[in-house]
Structure formats: C-alpha cells, structure tokens
C-alpha cells in the first residue's frame, strides 16, 4: 500500500508563504518522492538561488534535471554542489557528486 501523497500539504504551505525556503524544499522533496521531478525543479531552483551555501537543493536539482534528460542544465548545479560539499567537508556527497560529474563528461 502506497503512502498518501505529501505534496498537497506542502503545496498549501507554499501557497501561504511562497518565500519560505523550508516549505519549498519540503514540497520539492515530496514531489521527488512522488516521481514528479519536473514539478520539483522550480522549488529546488528557488531554494538554491535563495541560499548560496545550501548544498542539498543543488544536489537534488541536479539529479532531477538528469532524470529529466537535461544534463547540460544539471551540470552547473552539480558543480556548485560539489564546491559546497568540499568547502563544508561533506565527504560522501562530494564523492557522489564527483562520480555523477565524471559520468557527464562534456555535457
């Protein structure tokens, strides 16, 4: 049995407070869980653009764009996430990002 969709709950919160990055991030995560990458992109972009030091929205945005077949758009977000992972000493995300970026080549 599938869990109930969480995105309507977070969509209502975002509608009330569109500038709340945590609500947008939670909505994006719910949309990703529901396999709705295209719907999550705008919320992840808003989170990433709003907080220069926030690594996770960049990782999730890059992966969502890859899943949508948009590697050239994903690459700069993944590169920025890797920079942040290294700066913030997040070794596991850095290793994962290096692998993803290596697979992209010249995308």
Number of structural domains, the chain? 1
- Residue 79 banded pLDDT, cuts 50, 70, 90: very high
Q: What is the pLDDT of residue 5?
A: 82
| Domain range for 83 | 18-104
Q: Considering the domain boundaries, does residue 25 fall inside one? A: yes
Neighbours of 82 (CB within 10 A): 23
- Cα 21 from Cα 19, distance rounded (Å): 6
Whether residue 1 is predicted with pLDDT greater than 60 in this model: the reply is no
Q: Considering the domain boundaries, does residue 90 fall inside one? A: yes
What's the whole-number average pLDDT of the chain? 94
CB 93 within 8 A of CB 81: yes
- Find, among 78, 77, 71, the residue nearest to 99 by Cα: 78
Average pLDDT of span 71-88: 97
Average pLDDT of span 63-90: 97
Q: Considering the domain boundaries, does residue 4 fall inside one? A: no
Angle at 72 between CA 32 and CA 60, to 5 degrees: 25
- Residue 2 banded pLDDT, cuts 50, 70, 90: low
Q: Considering the domain boundaries, does residue 39 fall inside one? A: yes
- Cα 30 from Cα 38, distance rounded (Å): 12
Average pLDDT of span 66-79: 96
Q: Considering the domain boundaries, does residue 8 fall inside one? A: no
Task: Residue 22: give its domain's CATH number.
Answer: 1.25.40.10
């Amino acid at each position: 049995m599938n869990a109930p969709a969480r995105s309507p709950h977070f969509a209502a919160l975002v509608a009330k407070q569109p500038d709340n990055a945590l609500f947008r991030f939670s909505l994006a995560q719910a949309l990703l869980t529901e396999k709705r990458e295209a719907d999550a992109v705008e919320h992840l972009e808003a989170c990433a653009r709003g907080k220069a030091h926030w690594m996770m929205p960049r990782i999730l945005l890059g992966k969502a764009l890859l899943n949508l077949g948009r590697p050239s758009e994903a690459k700069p977000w993944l590169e920025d996430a890797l920079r942040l992972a290294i700066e913030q000493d997040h070794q596991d995300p850095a290793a994962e990002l290096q692998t993803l970026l290596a697979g992209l080549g010249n995308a």
